[in-house]
Every structure is written in C-alpha cells, then in structure tokens.
Amino acid sequence: MLAPVCAQAAQQPDVLVVLVDQWSPRDTPRWGTIAKTPNLDAVADQGMRFYSAYCASPMCMPSRVALLTGQFPHNTQLWSNTMEYTPQIEQARLFADMKQAGYTTAQVGKIHWVSGNAWKRNTPSETITDFYNRIGADHVDNLPSPFSTPNDKGPYSEYLKSIGKFDAVAADMTERIRGDNWTVRASACSAEEHNEMFVAKRAIEYLEKQPTDKPLFLVVSFFGPHNPVDAPEPYASMYDPADVELHPNVKFPVGSGGRKYGEQQLRAIKANYLGKISHIDECAGRVFEALKKRGNWDNTLVIFAADHGEFMGSHGSMTKGQMFEESAGIPMWIRPPKGQAVAAKESDIPVNMIDIYATVVEAGGGTVTPQRQSNSLWPIVRGEVKDDGSQVTFSEIDQKFLSYMVRKGDFKWFRAGTREYLFNLKDDPFEMKNLAADPAHAEKARELRDTYFEWLITTQLHYGKGYIPRGTREAMKAAEEAKAKAGKKQG
C-alpha cells in the first residue's frame, strides 16, 4: 500500500465524490455563467478547477461505468445506454481498490452501472446487494431517477406517499414522459421534498452512522440538472429567461426528440435548468455541512464532476451524445485535504472523468488495479506536470453512429460517422470553424487521428502478461481478507 497523498495527515483522508448528470461545462465560472453555486464554489476555491476536462463517453451509462472500471468503452464494451448491462466484477475495481486500502465504500443516489437483470448472469444465485458487495461497495443506495417515480416502489416513492405527494409527482412525470420532457414547469415538490434533496438526506443519514476512526469513500450522485426541467420553487423562478446568455454557437430552431424549440422556449428551458443547478448546489452544501460535523473536514478530499455535458441549444442540439465541447466536456474540480499543495486555481491540461479513479486510490494510499486507463490528477494539482501541449485525453461513443475524440493541446479532433472535425479551441472555443478539410491543418488532423488509433490499440485489455485466472484471483482476495481480519483480532 502506498502512503496517502497528503503526507501531513495523521490518517487517511475521507474521500467524497459529488457526481452530477448532464451539467454543461459552459455553466462554470470561466464562461461567465449566471448560475449561483456558492457552496460548490467555496469548496472549489480551495483546490483546482480543470477547464479542459472530458467524459470517457458523452452518455450516462458508459461514462459512469468507465469511472467504476477505470476503462474506456472499447474495453468495457459499453458504448451507449442500454436496458440490459452489468459490468464484469473483475473489471469494476474502483470500490474494491478503495476497500483494499482500508476504506468503507459507498454510493448514494443515481448509480446507472447496471440496467435490467443482466447482473444475474454473473451471479444467478445472489441478490443485487451481493453483486454490489462483490465489486467492493459496502453500501449502495440506488435511488430511482425522476422518470422512474410513477412505477417505483422504493424509498423515495414511499417518502412521497408519506407526505401525500406521490400521486401529484407521478402524474407530473407521466405527463412529461408521454409528452415533452423539456416542458418547463416547477416540480410538484418543494425544494425540501425534491428527489435531489432526498439524495442528499439519504447520504447524510448514512454519513452520520459511520465511525470516524475508519476512512470513508463516499460517492453522492445527483440526478440533475438532467431533464426533466422541473426545478422546485423557489429555484424554478430564480432566473429570468431574459437574463439567460445564449452562446454564439446556438442555432435555431433547436431540435430534440423530433421537436423544435425557438429562442423564447430555449431561454425558459435554460432558466429552469439553471434553477436545478442552484438547487443541487444547496443539496451538495448540506452534504458538506454533514462532513464538517463529522469532524474530519480538513482531512477530506472532495471531487466534483459531471458524467457528461449538455448542449442546451449549441449546434442546434439538446442533451448529449456528440463530441462537441458542450456535450463531451464536463465541469470538474478537486479540493485536496488541508495542507496539500495546489499549484494553481485552474488548469487547462486535458483530463478525464475516468481519472478520478486513480486520483482517489492514490489519495487513500491504495494500489490501482493494473490495466486501468485512469491517470492520477495529483501530479497536475501539485504542479509537477506542466501544460506543455503534449497531454492528451479521449472520448468514445457509438449511439446513432460511431464517434471518437482526441483532445491534445489547443486542438480537438473527432470523427462522427463519416465526418471529421478539427477545431483550434484557443482561437475557436465555440467550435464554429471546422479545420478538418483545410490543407494547412492536414498534418495536425493526421497527428491526432493517429494518436487515437495508437492509443486504441495499445490500451486493449491484455490478459497474457501477468494474467491471474478468476478463481485464483478470488482465492487470493479471500486469503488477504482472512489475514486482515486475523490481524485485527490480534491487535
């Protein structure tokens, strides 16, 4: 086991990862967002923001599975959302690596690594809780998405029934699902009753039960600001549509799901979306306060990230699924434990959400499972790695068509189906001038194209060198756990 990153700490740091869904990278301070996020900003100001951060895939499931496994879609084989999928236990190592480092491990809120009953094919005689435990997660509170509410029988629906709100919320969500889920309407719930606050409260309930003499790794995963646009009051009215900034690459009419939206509709949608962002900030703030009451706030690593972005009208689109900045780019920042050096408040080195894996394992003094494509962010945070234009990151998706992306230095290259794109993000941050067909940039396009294919080939899973058969690996793990338990008893 490695020494924890924060050498000054008397013990391993607690680790909190705050995940959000479909948060545009444009709604961050660099781009002058009007979104009010005082709680998140206060913590981010104590660390480093990554303004060239990307998701491993601009879609919920493959992005989240990439974080869980430390592997990109070409190794997880999950290139888009699906109704039947489960990650392989031997691949899903994030929680296992933290557990082996001595952590209690948990995730509360949106999970979206598993869909349907595919997990039963791996463990047919076990429950879903057994599956979570087999991947190293001590506690998983898998709460349903807003659109699942009408048919859900879980804790949030039970809560809504207990306060007499279930029928109203179910009717609201049913109408949005069957009609236009970009319909702008305040939630049927108050801010305290909304599912985002429910996630925060469940996380806090779990936090308060955890002993302080053992380090905790907790992922709190919110559902928003992903549509539906159902910010609760007073957040639904917090932003005036007339004040909403529309970026220069917004094209009207904006299309989504066969529908078209004009400028006034988009402004109203964006205003509610910003309200959802501010509500999530309030929810995250509650979790921060609970961690402070835990008494270990100074020795807590906090990381914030989105699983992907949101177009919000840019390039005439809504949601995600493409490699343009608004979709594949993400907001991400890291706040180290107190005493850990931070080289700068911002970084433009290309990084990836998948890098959270190696970062938290290193922070906890653990060992990253081999064959992960995750790179620790600590050398950047400490200033050991400088932005020299050589750093690179990637993204992949196969939804309507296969698409893959390379970001290196000021340039971003990607292929979408049969079309190629090349942008100089320094000169053209809103990607309005495609340089792929420009002879003057042919060499740069070729360089980045070759970079992707070399990376693709060299990062394929390789079970020849150092391969340990599954049964042997599990036996080794059981022996290690038995040895650890025996050591505790002797102590």
Mean pLDDT rounded to a whole number for the chain: 92
**Given a cut of 70, is residue 491 above it in pLDDT?**
no
Q: Which run of H or E residues covers position 290?
A: helix 263-294
**Given a cut of 80, is residue 221 above it in pLDDT?**
yes
Residue pLDDT, tens place only, 73-114? 999 999 998 888 888 888 999 999 999 999 999 999 999 998
Work out the widest C-alpha separation in the chain, in whole angstroms: 71
**Given a cut of 80, is residue 486 above it in pLDDT?**
no
Average pLDDT over every residue of 320-324 = 97
> Model pTM?
0.92
Lowest mean pLDDT among 41-45, 124-128, 308-312, 459-463: 124-128
Tokens standing for residue 367: 């060992």
Helix axes 166-178, 155-162, angle to 10 degrees: 120
**Given a cut of 50, is residue 8 above it in pLDDT?**
no
Distance CA(412)–CA(223), nearest Å, equals: 29
| 94 neighbors 65 (Cβ within 8 angstroms) | no
The confidence score (pLDDT) of residue 400 equals: 86
Taking alpha carbons only, the member of 170, 92, 172 closest to residue 132 is 92
Encode 330-345: b = buried (16+ Cβ within 10 Å), e = exposed: bbbbbbbbeebeeeee
Distance CA(221)–CA(112), nearest Å, equals: 10
Average pLDDT over every residue of 40-67 = 97
Asked whether residue 93 is domain-assigned, the answer is: yes
Average pLDDT over every residue of 458-485 = 68
Report residue 479 CA to chain centroid gap: 33
| 58 neighbors 399 (Cβ within 8 angstroms) | no
Q: Which run of H or E residues covers position 254?
A: strand 254-256
Domain that holds residue 258: 14-395
Calculate Rg over the CA atoms of the chain. Answer: 22
End-to-end alpha carbon distance in the chain: 19
The confidence score (pLDDT) of residue 462 equals: 81
Q: Tell me the residue ranges of DSSP E strands in 104-190.
A: 104-109, 139-142
Render 149-162 in DSSP notation, one character per residue: GGG--SHHHHHHHH
Tokens standing for residue 192: 């305290």
Q: Where residue 219 falls among pLDDT bands split at 50, 70, 90? A: very high
The confidence score (pLDDT) of residue 490 equals: 55
The confidence score (pLDDT) of residue 9 equals: 44
Encode 70-81: b = buried (16+ Cβ within 10 Å), e = exposed: bbbbbbbebbbb
**Given a cut of 90, is residue 300 above it in pLDDT?**
yes
Asked whether residue 131 is domain-assigned, the answer is: yes
Asked whether residue 204 is domain-assigned, the answer is: yes
The confidence score (pLDDT) of residue 84 equals: 84
Average pLDDT over every residue of 118-126 = 72
Lowest mean pLDDT among 29-33, 158-162, 334-338, 470-474: 470-474
Residue pLDDT, tens place only, 406-417? 999 999 999 999
Asked whether residue 474 is domain-assigned, the answer is: no
Here the CATH number for the domain that contains residue 277 is 3.40.720.10
Lowest mean pLDDT among 229-233, 254-258, 266-270: 254-258
Helices and strands (DSSP H and E) totals, the chain: 14, 16
Taking alpha carbons only, the member of 421, 277, 320 closest to residue 63 is 320
Average pLDDT over every residue of 313-328 = 97
Asked whether residue 134 is domain-assigned, the answer is: yes
Lowest mean pLDDT among 116-125, 386-395, 430-439, 470-479: 470-479
Asked whether residue 247 is domain-assigned, the answer is: yes
**Given a cut of 50, is residue 22 above it in pLDDT?**
yes
Q: Please state, in angstroms and as integers, the Cα–Cα distance from residue 379 to each residue in 226, 341, 351, 375, 417, following that order.
A: 32, 11, 12, 10, 36
CA dihedral sign, ordered 227, 190, 112, 327: positive
Percent of the chain with pLDDT over 90: 81
Lowest mean pLDDT among 147-161, 168-182, 434-448: 147-161
**Given a cut of 50, is residue 148 above it in pLDDT?**
yes
Asked whether residue 488 is domain-assigned, the answer is: no
The confidence score (pLDDT) of residue 471 equals: 52
Lowest mean pLDDT among 1-5, 22-26, 238-242, 413-417: 1-5
Asked whether residue 53 is domain-assigned, the answer is: yes
| Contacts with 164 (C-beta within 8 Å, 6 or more apart), sequence order | none
Q: Please state, in angstroms and as integers, the Cα–Cα distance from residue 350 to each residue in 36, 406, 407, 409, following that order.
A: 26, 10, 7, 7
**Given a cut of 80, is residue 481 above it in pLDDT?**
no
Phi first, then psi, for residue 63 (nearest 5°) are: -70, -45
The total number of structural domains in the chain stands at 1
**Given a cut of 70, is residue 266 above it in pLDDT?**
yes
